Amino acid sequence: EVQMVESGGGLVKPGGSLRLSCAASGFTFSDYSMNWVRQAPGKGLEWVSSISSRSSYMYYTDSVKGRFTISRDNAKNSLYLQMNSLRAEDSAVYYCASGHCSAGGCDNGFFDYWGQGTLVTVSS
Amino acid sequence: ERVMTQSPATLSVSPGERVTLSCRASQSVSSNLAWYQQKPGQAPRLLIYGASTRATGIPARFSGSGSGTEFTLTISSLQSEDFAVYYCQQYNNWPWTFGQGTKVEIK
């Protein structure tokens, strides 16, 4: 059974930092590109960042560039998001989400497996 | 940035009815379009990718169509478990972007 469990969320003051983690199991983590997607309370979904299976490339949405860093440890089946200089508008549930693999190969771009999310609240 | 616009914002439907949700892209996204379902308090679930390919385990009553800028998600006969918010998402161009969602509610 596929499981992805996020942790590390919480309440932080503006300008502060948090490190989110996502522990994955039930699939070959090292084959999959991985992503962070967030959802502000009562709002829609927003893609935040992506990392390729071997960490060859990382992409970020403009609003977090220079503040957030995505990384992964394939030996530990884990994905991370280091968030610095946090702002009120970063408050959201943060989901880790995998790309897609099938017999035909692996793709990134759409999100196959999702964790249950971890809540980040940025407030003084 | 590709802006994705979904319509309508809310759809009131009776169980058993056929439902059609629309998603429009501000510029062509080819067939690089996915649909997700999200229920309250839950993570989204992938329904459709490549505009028309059902994800693993998704019932056949869900179908997707379209290419370029106009896309449709159809639920052939709405079941009680289908009341949820539906999002489209393009992955043709960075940054990947979602529509604002369509809420399907009980009439």
List all residues 6 or more positions away from A87 whose beta carbon is below 8 Å from its beta carbon.
A14, A122
* Interchain proximity B34–A116, CB inside 8 Å: no
The answer to whether B49 contacts chain A (CB < 8 Å) is yes
Q: What is the pLDDT of residue B87?
A: 98
Mean pLDDT calculated for residue range B18-32 = 97
Indicate yes or no: CB of A109 within 8 angstroms of CB of B91: yes
pLDDT range class, residue A107, cuts 50, 70, 90 = confident
Structure tokens at A69: 């860093």
Rama region for A66: left / alpha / beta (φ>0; ψ in -120 to 50; rest) = left
- Is B88 near chain A, with CB under 8 Å? no
Question: Tell me: the pLDDT tens digits for A14-65?
Answer: 999 999 999 999 999 999 999 999 999 999 999 999 999 999 999 999 999 9
CA dihedral A42, A48, A51, A57 (to 10 degrees): 160
Amino acid at B87: Y
3-state helix, strand, coil split of chain B in percent (to 5) is 5, 50, 45
Q: Given CB atoms, is A99 within the 8 Å cutoff of chain B?
A: no
**Cα–Cα distance measured from residue A4 to residue A2, given in angstroms and rounded to the nearest whole number:** 7
Strand pairing of A68-73 and A10-12? unpaired
Strand partners, B88: B35
